[in-house]
């Protein structure tokens, strides 16, 4: 039976346990990206027999390596959380700068819990990081904000790439709709999720923060969240992105 690693041990390694109680249904992605996430979760729950039984472990390590690629706020961390929920596995966020050369200790603790490793902002030398991950037989996810082509050595060490694009209008509408429906707060009847999606080109994280800020403002003014507040906070998010 897997044991829970002491959080003090994890912190000493530059590792943080991520709470996986987020509802995966709040994730809005293109069908191809969601399908790839489901395949990764299926591999964790019931890995195919191609490695041990078919003898392929002689040629390749037993772990799975996935690259999550897309702009900030498009759901890469939430997708890792969703995989953790689907597969009933803990999720460890690894700070590459702090882990230094303690990969052996990291893998030992992760093995004990059958944890998923998430390396956020893995923008520099992905191939080098993948080489260091070869001994780990679990799932390691590398998340990057950068697009473009990868070096061939990195591509050869990956089992899959999941794209996280900025949401289009339809996806933004779905994000607004789901978040507004799940938020346990007073809301006025004038809220138009379709209009918010059409007029404000925001990422999923920006939509969530817009709603949260609107809720805080509404609470301070003693009134329900309304369309005026949501438009104001959405506009503020766009100004922040533009550096205004």
Question: Does 61 fall in a domain?
Answer: yes
State residue 23's pLDDT score: 74
State residue 48's pLDDT score: 53
Residues 119 and 179 in one domain: no
Among candidate residues 196, 152, 45, the one with its CA nearest the CA of residue 37:
45
Residues 156 and 186 in one domain: no
State residue 5's pLDDT score: 65
- Model confidence over 49-96: pLDDT tens digits? 555 555 545 444 568 999 999 999 999 999 999 999 988 999 999 988
Among 139, 163, 187, identify where a domain stops: 163
Among 144, 163, 182, identify where a domain stops: 163
Residue 168, both tokens: 């289009």
Among 107, 132, 163, identify where a domain stops: 163
What's this model's pTM, rounded to 2 decimal places?
0.86
Cα-Cα end-to-end distance for the chain: 53
State residue 184's pLDDT score: 86
* % pLDDT > 70, the chain: 91
State residue 60's pLDDT score: 47
Residues 112 and 194 in one domain: no
Residues 82 and 153 in one domain: yes
State residue 61's pLDDT score: 55
User: Are 72 and 201 spatial neighbours (Cβ–Cβ below 8 Å)?
Assistant: no
Q: CB-based burial of residue 103 (10 Å sphere; 0-12 exposed, 13-18 middle, 19+ buried)?
A: middle
Please, which residues have CB within 8 angstroms of residue 229's CB and are 6 or more apart in sequence?
214, 217, 218
Residues of the chain with pLDDT under 50: 1, 56, 58-60
φ and ψ of 27, to 5 deg: -75, 130
Residues 186 and 138 in one domain: no
Residue 39, both tokens: 């395949």
Number of folded domains that form the chain: 2
User: Are 103 and 132 spatial neighbours (Cβ–Cβ below 8 Å)?
Assistant: yes
Q: CB-based burial of residue 55 (10 Å sphere; 0-12 exposed, 13-18 middle, 19+ buried)?
A: exposed
The parent domain of residue 99 ranges over 7-163
State residue 205's pLDDT score: 93
């Amino acid at each position: 039976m897997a044991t829970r690693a002491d959080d003090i041990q994890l912190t000493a390694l530059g590792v943080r346990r991520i709470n996986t109680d987020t509802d995966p249904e709040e994730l809005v992605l293109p069908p191809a990206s969601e399908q790839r996430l489901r395949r990764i979760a299926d591999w964790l729950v019931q890995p195919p027999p191609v490695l041990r039984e078919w003898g392929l472990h002689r040629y390749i390590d037993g772990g799975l390596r996935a690259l999550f690629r897309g702009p900030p706020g498009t759901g890469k961390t939430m997708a890792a959380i969703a995989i953790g929920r689907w597969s009933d596995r803990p999720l460890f966020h690894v700070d590459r700068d702090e882990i230094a050369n303690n990969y052996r200790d990291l893998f030992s603790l992760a093995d004990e819990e059958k944890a998923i490793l998430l390396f956020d902002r893995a923008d520099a030398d992905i191939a080098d990081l993948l080489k260091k991950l070869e001994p780990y037989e679990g799932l390691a996810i590398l998340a990057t904000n950068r697009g473009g082509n990868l070096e061939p050595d990195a591509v050869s060490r990956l089992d899959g790439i999941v794209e996280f694009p900025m949401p289009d209008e339809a996806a933004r509408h779905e994000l607004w709709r789901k978040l507004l429906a799940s938020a346990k707060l007073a809301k006025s009847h004038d809220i138009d999720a379709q209009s918010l999606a059409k007029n404000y080109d925001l990422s999923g994280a920006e939509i969530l923060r817009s709603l949260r800020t609107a809720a805080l403002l509404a609470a301070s003014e003693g009134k329900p969240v309304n369309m005026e507040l949501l438009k104001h906070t959405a506009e503020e998010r766009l100004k922040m992105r533009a550096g205004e």
